[in-house]
Structure 1
Amino acid sequence: MSTPLLDVTGLCKTYGTNVAVSDLSFTLPAGGSLGLVGESGSGKTTTARMLIGLERPDRGQILVKGEPLAAASRLARAKAVQIVFQDPYLSLDPRLTIRAALDDVLRLHRHPDRAARVTELLDQVGLGAREAAAKPRGLSGGQRQRAAIARALAVEPDVLVLDEAVSALDVSIQAQVLNVLADIRRETGIGIVFVSHDLAVVRYLCDEALVLHRGVVVERGAIEALLTDPQDPYTRLLISSVPHAGWSPEEISEQRRALQQRS
C-alpha cells in the first residue's frame, strides 16, 4: 500500500475547558479531495490551522508523505501544505501587484525561473495581464480569490487547504472558482482539504467528507452517500438547513432543539 499524501492520526486541541478537536484521524491519497464539514464551532477551522502549523495540536500527529509536519522547517512546511482563506486579503499584500506578490513567494523559495512560473500560475487560475498588474483592491472578489489560490500554488505544495474559500462569493463566482480548483486538482494531482459549512459546495469538489460536530467526527463517507442517505441527525440538520423548495425555518429550529436535547 502506498504512503498517503496526508495522514492525520488522533489529533486533539483544547482551549482551556473547550474541546475544539477530539481524536480526529483521516488520510488523503495523492490527488484526493476531502471535505471537512460543520457549522461554526465544529472544529473544522481549528483543524485547518493545525494542518498548516498555525496551531500546535495537544496530541496527535500530522504526516505529509510519511514525514512529520511538526519536525519540518518553516519553508518545508510551506512547501508541504498551503492554505487559502475565506478572505483573500489575509494572504495578499495590499501594497503589491498580483504579479509582484507571486514573484515574492517564488523569490523566498529560490525558484530558478520566477518569471515563467508567474506566467504559468496566472494562466492556471485564469488571470490575465490586467489583473496581474493590479493590486488586490483593484480586483473583484472572485479575481482576488483566484490570485490567493495562485499564491498558494506557487511553490507546488503537496496539499492545499481551503478554509471557506468560496463562502463569501456569490453563486456564479463560486462556480467559477470551484471550476478552477477542479481543473487544478485534475491537472496537478494536488491533494485538497476543503473546509466548509455547505455540503452542496463540498459535493462539487470532494470525493468524501467528514462531518464535525463540537470537535468530533459524527459521520464520514463518500459525499454522495452522505447527501442521499445521511445517518447522523447532525448531518441531516446540515442538509436541511440549505434553503430549497419547501424549506421551513421552523422545521430547522425544531431539528436543532432536538439535537441539543440529545447532546
Structure 2
Amino acid sequence: MTTDPGLPLQVSGLRKTYPAGRTPVVAVDDLSFSLRPGGALGIVGESGSGKTTTARMLVGLERPDQGEILVQGTPLAARTRGRAARLARAKAVQMVFQDPYLSLDSRLSIGATVDGVLRLHGSLSPSDRAARVRELLAQVGLGDREAAALPRRLSGGQRQRAAIARALAVEPTVLVLDEAVSALDVSVQAQVLNLLSDIRRDTGIGLVFVSHDLAVVRYVCDEALVMYRGRTVEHQPVADLLASPRHPYTRLLLASVPRLGWNPDAIAGQRRDLAATDTPAA
C-alpha cells in the first residue's frame, strides 16, 4: 500500500480469524479500502459478514492477523503499550456503538462523562472544560438539562447523541459508527443521521458507517463497501451501487427490503442459490 498522509484512513489486506476446532473461522479476509478527507464510507452486510469485526479492528478492540491500518499515513499499532499510546490511538479513531450504554457510565451524568474525556485528553482549565462540554453537547442538540441527567433518564436518541458528543470530545480523525441508529425509531434515526451529516460538514471528520441497512447508508454516505462472508464483494459510490449493483449479494440485499409486491419466498430462494455458489469478489 502506498502511504498517503492526506487520507484520513487507509486499510490494506486486513485478515482476522477466530479459533474453531481444527479449522479457524475467517471473519475478515483481505479487506482494503481508503477514506478520503471529509468522506463517509458505508460498510454494509448482514450478520456474519465481518463488518462489525472490521469496525472493532479499526478502533483496536480486535487485532488483525494480517494487514495494516493507517490514519493520516501513520500506522496504528496492533498493540498499544502505555498511556500515551492508548490515548493517541483513541484520538485517531473513535467509535459509537449500537448501544450507548457501552460508552456511557451509568453512574455519571452526561456532562461529567464528557468532562472526564476532556480531562483525560487535554489540559484545559475547569472553566474552559465546562465551556467545551456545553459546546459539544449543543453540537449534538443537548442542553443543560441533559448534561445534568444520568444516562437512564434520557431517551435512546438522546443517549446516542451523548455518545457522539463523548466521541467528538477527543477531536478524532475518524469516527466509526457500528449500527449506531439501528435500535432507534425511524423518526429518531433521521434526526441522528441529520446530526451526523451536519457534524461531517462542519468539522471535516471522516465517517465509517457500519450498517445492514442500505437506506441508512444511502442517506449519510458517499461510498459503500459490501461485505459477504468476510470479503469485499462490491465497492462503489452509493448512487451507482443502488442503481446498478454488480454482485448477486448486493442485489439480494436490495431485494430483501420489504416493498409492494415483495416476495419473501423468492428472496429465500436467491439466498440459497447464492450460498451454493458463493461467488467471490471480482
Q: Would you call these one fold, judging by a TM-score over 0.5?
A: yes
Q: CA RMSD in A?
A: 1.1
For 1:3, which of 1, 6, 31 is the aligned residue? 6
Stretches of 4+ aligned residues off by more than 6 angstroms: none
SS at structure 2 position matched to 1:82: strand
For 1:83, which of 95, 104, 109 is the aligned residue? 95
For 2:114, which of 102, 127, 139 is the aligned residue? 102
- Which residue does the alignment assign to 1:165? 180
1: CA distance between counterparts of 2:262 and 2:199?
Answer: 35
1:198 maps to a residue whose letter is D
SS at structure 2 position matched to 1:146: helix
TM-score (norm 1): 0.98
Spell out the pairing of 1:60-71 with structure 2 (5 A cutoff): 60-70=67-77
CA-to-aligned-CA distance 1:121-180 (integer Å, 9 cap, x gap)? 011000011111110000000000000000010010000000000000110000000000
Spell out the pairing of 1:1-263 with structure 2 (5 A cutoff): 3-16=6-19, 17-70=24-77, 73-112=85-124, 113-263=128-278
1:22 maps to a residue whose letter is D
2: CA distance between counterparts of 1:190 and 1:43?
Answer: 24
2: CA distance between counterparts of 1:123 and 1:139?
Answer: 15
SS at structure 2 position matched to 1:173: helix
1: CA distance between counterparts of 2:102 and 2:140?
Answer: 19
Shift of 1:2: 6.0
Larger mean Cα displacement after TM superposition, 72-81 or 208-217: 72-81
Identity %: 72
Larger mean Cα displacement after TM superposition, 83-92 or 244-253: 244-253
- Between the two proteins, the alignment pairs up a number of residues equal to 263
TM-score (norm 2): 0.91
1: CA distance between counterparts of 2:188 and 2:123?
Answer: 31
1:95 maps to a residue whose letter is R
SS at structure 1 position matched to 2:106: coil
1: CA distance between counterparts of 2:60 and 2:168?
Answer: 17
Larger mean Cα displacement after TM superposition, 200-209 or 249-258: 249-258
2: CA distance between counterparts of 1:243 and 1:115?
Answer: 47
Q: Is the 8 A contact 2:16 2:65 kept in 1?
A: yes
2:201 maps to a residue whose letter is R
SS at structure 2 position matched to 1:70: coil
1: CA distance between counterparts of 2:111 and 2:5?
Answer: 37
2:89 maps to a residue whose letter is R
